[in-house]
Homo-oligomer: A and B are copies of this chain.
Amino acid sequence: MSTGVNLKELAAELKLSPSTVSRALNDSYEISEATKKKVVFMAEKLNYQPNPFARSLRENKSKTIAVVMPERMSSFFAKVIDGIEEVTQQHGYHLLVYSTHEDVEREKKIVNLLMNGRADAIVMSVSSQTSDISHLARLHERGFPLIFFDRICSEIPTTKFITNDYESSYEGTKHLIQQGCRKIAFLMLSKELSITKERYRGYLDALKAAGLSPTPSLQVTCAHEEENNIEAIRAMLMSEDRPDGLVSSVEKLALATYHAVKRTNIKIPEDLKIISFFSNLSIAGLLTPSLTTITQPAFTIGEECAKLLIKKLTKPRQPDLPNQLISIPSKITIRSSTIAV
Contacts and interface: CB of A to CB of B under 8 A. Distances in A.
Interface of A: 1-4, 49-54, 56-57, 60, 62, 64, 72-73, 75, 78-79, 81-82, 85, 94-99, 115-118, 142-145, 226, 255, 258-259, 262, 280, 282-283, 285-288
A85 B109 CA distance: 14
A305 to B, nearest CB: 16
Contacts of A142: 1-2, 4
Contact of A79 (B52, B64, B73): B73
A29 B57 CA distance: 29
Given A78-B73, A142-B2, A51 B117 contact: yes
Q: Which 9 A-B pairs have the closest CB atoms?
A: A288-B288, A49-B116, A53-B56, A53-B57, A97-B97, A73-B78, A1-B143, A53-B53, A72-B78
A64 B115 CA distance: 16
A1 B143 CA distance: 5
A62 B53 contact: yes
Count of chain copies: 2
Given A116-B51, A255-B283, A287-B286, A82 B72 contact: yes
A51 B94 CA distance: 18
A3 B283 CA distance: 45
A54 B1 CA distance: 19
Contact of A143 (B2, B51, B145): B2
Contacts of A4: 115, 142
B145 A52 contact: no
A94 B78 contact: no
Nearest to A80: B72
A155 to B, nearest CB: 20
Contacts of A2: 142-143
A156 B56 CA distance: 32
Contacts of A81: 72, 97
A57 B78 CA distance: 32
A99 B82 CA distance: 8
Contacts of A262: 285-286
Nearest to A52: B118
Nearest to A101: B82
Contacts of A283: 255, 283
A82 B78 CA distance: 13
Contacts of A117: 1, 3, 49, 51-53
A134 B175 CA distance: 56
A95 B94 contact: no
Contacts of A51: 57, 116-117
Nearest to A67: B97
